[in-house]
Structures are given as C-alpha cells and as structure tokens.
C-alpha cells in the first residue's frame, strides 16, 4: 500500500439556516494517497463542500467538524489560522470551476502567478518572474511573456484554466483539489486541460482529488471513485470496476447515461430512495 497523504475522518459541514441547521456534509471519511481520487455526485451532494472543508475555506456561519483531517500525520483541524495559511497553496491547493471568475479580473496574470509563488517562497521578483514563465510553459502556454502581461478577460476558457493550474501548482503542493475543473470549458479543450493536469500531477507525485458530476469522465481519469449522495459517501470503488458498482444510486446514474456499446431505446430515469440519505456513510479509506 502506498503512503497516505491525507486522512479525513468523520467530516461534517453545517450551515445554520432560518429553518434549523442544514448539514451539507454528514460524517464523511476517506483517505488519499499519491493517487487520483474522484468524488462524484449531483449538485448539492456535498462534494464541493468536502473539498473546501479540507482547506478550511468554509466561511462563517458555516461550521466544519471532523475527528481529524490529517495531512501526513498533522491534524489540520488543530492548526491556527496562521499555520493553516502555510498549508494552503504550499501543501494543498485547489483549482476551481470557472477561470472567468476564479482569476482576479483587474490584475495581470503575471502578477497573480508571481503572487502565488512569493507567498511561500522568499524569491526575488526576477526569480519569481522566471519561475512563472517556466510554469506557464509547463502548462503548454505559448508566448508566455505576453500572457504574463495580459488580463484574464483576454484569455479563452481553456487557457484560463491552464493558467489557474499553473498558478496553483507553482508553490509545488502535495495535494491538488480540482473542483469541476473542466465543467465550464468547451468540450474540445476539456481533454487537453485534463491531460496537462494529469501529467503534472504524475510528474510531481502529487495526490489529486478530482470533484465532478461527470461519472464517465471520473471513471476514465481517476484511480478510485467515491460516490456521494446528500452529504454522504454511498459507495467506494476502483474506477475500472465502476461498472460493477452495487449501490442502486450508482447503478441508476450509470443507467441514465447513454452508452455507445450498449444502445437502448429509452434511458432510465433515476428513482431516488429516501433510505439512501439515511444509511450511514461508507468509509473511503484504503
């Protein structure tokens, strides 16, 4: 068994609302090694909240509780906000859905990447600039010097997301959380962005948490998959054995997708069983 990078035990994310407390994530446990872990679920299943909770980015009034979120033996739940800042970016980083919104619109791309680097490395501006150029080239951006001077709105979606990846990987983190990184992109560039991300994650021996609603994409891209439903993990399986999944929700999801190798006249409509949300969370630990 490979070494465990991240060990999450009994994670809860709660939001107090006018009609009582809403539990977005309910007792989720899993581990992450140097692998590509997929988290799949529909909107509102708590998959994004799980990603943000690991970085402790849930803003008040939201509350995060967990028995532990340990990063190589260090419990993130016990860290001060100041120590947590040293973890963010440098050890765990995150790529978000839409580069149109996740890049600062009125700062040049160069400034944003340099900022990410210099937050964790006491490098001179010139060094940081060169390092940023290298990083942009690593995500296959041609004409990197021009891009450094450009503003985000001048970039296409695919370029924006590659820039985002460059920015998030430049401090050399151990774990990357990718929250629907290709959902806002054209289908034609999705693959390209994924390949670049995959290559970098492999080269650097990082752990990747890949959050998506796209079952096929995850099955294709990841090593292991957690399936989340209404704040809980309902099933864990290896990506290549996804089609052998047993939980009715996973089966329902699979059957509601068209398949070239098994064409059908009518796709199944997903029937939801209230029992699914009551059953205890399955552990995603290896």
For position 105 contacting other proteins by CB under 8 A, the verdict is: yes
Decide whether 105 or 205 has the Cβ nearer to other proteins: 105
Whole-angstrom Cα distance, residue 215 to residue 242?
A: 9
104 binds other proteins (CB under 8 A): yes
Task: State the DSSP code for 284.
Answer: B
User: Does 233 participate in binding other proteins (rule CB under 8 A)?
Assistant: no
Q: Does 106 bind other proteins (CB under 8 A)?
A: yes
CB 179 within 8 A of CB 97: yes
Distance of alpha carbon 278 from alpha carbon 70, whole angstroms: 27
Cα of first residue to Cα of last residue in the chain, in angstroms, is 8
By CB atoms closer than 10 A (0-12, 13-18, 19+), residue 264 is exposed
Closer by beta carbon to other proteins, 51 or else 284 = 51
Nearer to other proteins, 82 or 142 (CB): 82
Among 32, 94, 165, 193, binds other proteins (CB under 8 A): 94
Q: Does 223 bind other proteins (CB under 8 A)?
A: no
Kind of pairing, strands 36-40 and 63-65? unpaired
Does 219 engage in binding with other proteins (CB under 8 A)? Answer: no
Site for other proteins in 237-266 (CB under 8 A): none
89 binds other proteins, rule: CB under 8 A: yes
161 counts as binding other proteins under rule CB under 8 A: no
Check binding of 168 to other proteins (CB under 8 A).
yes
d(CA 181, CA 187) in angstroms, rounded, equals 12
CA distance 36 to 25: 21
Q: Minimum distance from CB of 94 to other proteins (Å)?
A: 5
According to the binding rule CB under 8 A, does residue 74 interact with other proteins?
no
Distances from the Cα of 250 to the Cα of 137, 210, 219, 269, angstroms:
39, 17, 12, 13
- Neighbour-count burial of 169, counting CB atoms closer than 10 A to its CB (0-12 exposed, 13-18 middle, 19+ buried): buried
Span near other proteins by CB under 8 A; candidates 31-39, 140-148, 167-175, 186-194? 167-175
Q: Pick from 4, 23, 120, 157 the residue near other proteins by CB under 8 A.
A: 120
* Footprint on this chain of other proteins (rule: CB under 8 A): 52, 55, 57, 81-82, 85-90, 93-94, 96-98, 101-107, 115-116, 119-120, 151, 153, 164, 167-168, 171
């Amino acid at each position: 068994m490979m070494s465990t990078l991240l060990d999450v035990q009994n994670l809860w994310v709660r939001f107090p609302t006018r009609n009582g407390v809403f539990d977005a994530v309910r007792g989720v446990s899993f581990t992450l090694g140097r692998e590509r872990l997929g988290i799949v679920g529909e909107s509102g299943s708590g998959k994004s909240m799980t990603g943000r909770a690991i970085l402790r980015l849930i803003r008040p009034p939201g509350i995060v509780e967990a028995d532990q979120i340990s990063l190589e033996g260090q419990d993130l739940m016990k860290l001060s906000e100041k120590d947590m800042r040293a973890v963010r970016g440098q050890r765990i980083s995150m790529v978000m859905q839409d580069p149109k919104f996740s890049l600062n619109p009125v700062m040049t791309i160069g400034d944003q990447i340099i900022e990410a680097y210099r937050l964790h490395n006491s490098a001179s501006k010139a060094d940081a600039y060169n390092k940023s150029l290298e990083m942009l080239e690593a995500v296959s951006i041609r004409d990197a010097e021009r891009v450094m001077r450009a503003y985000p709105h001048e970039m296409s979606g695919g370029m924006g997301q590659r820039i985002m990846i460059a920015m998030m990987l430049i401090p050399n983190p151990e774990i990357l959380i990718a929250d629907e990184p290709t959902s806002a992109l054209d289908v034609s560039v999705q693959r390209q962005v994924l390949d670049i991300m995959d290559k970098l994650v492999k080269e650097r021996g990082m752990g990747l948490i890949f959050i998506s609603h796209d079952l096929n994409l995850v099955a294709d891209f990841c090593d292991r998959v957690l399936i989340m439903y209404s704040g809980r993990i309902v099933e864990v399986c290896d990506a290549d054995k996804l089609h052998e999944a047993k939980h009715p929700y996973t089966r329902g999801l699979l059957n509601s997708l068209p398949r070239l190798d098994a064409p059908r006249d009518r796709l199944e409509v997903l029937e939801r069983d209230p029992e699914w949300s009551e059953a205890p969370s399955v552990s995603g630990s290896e």
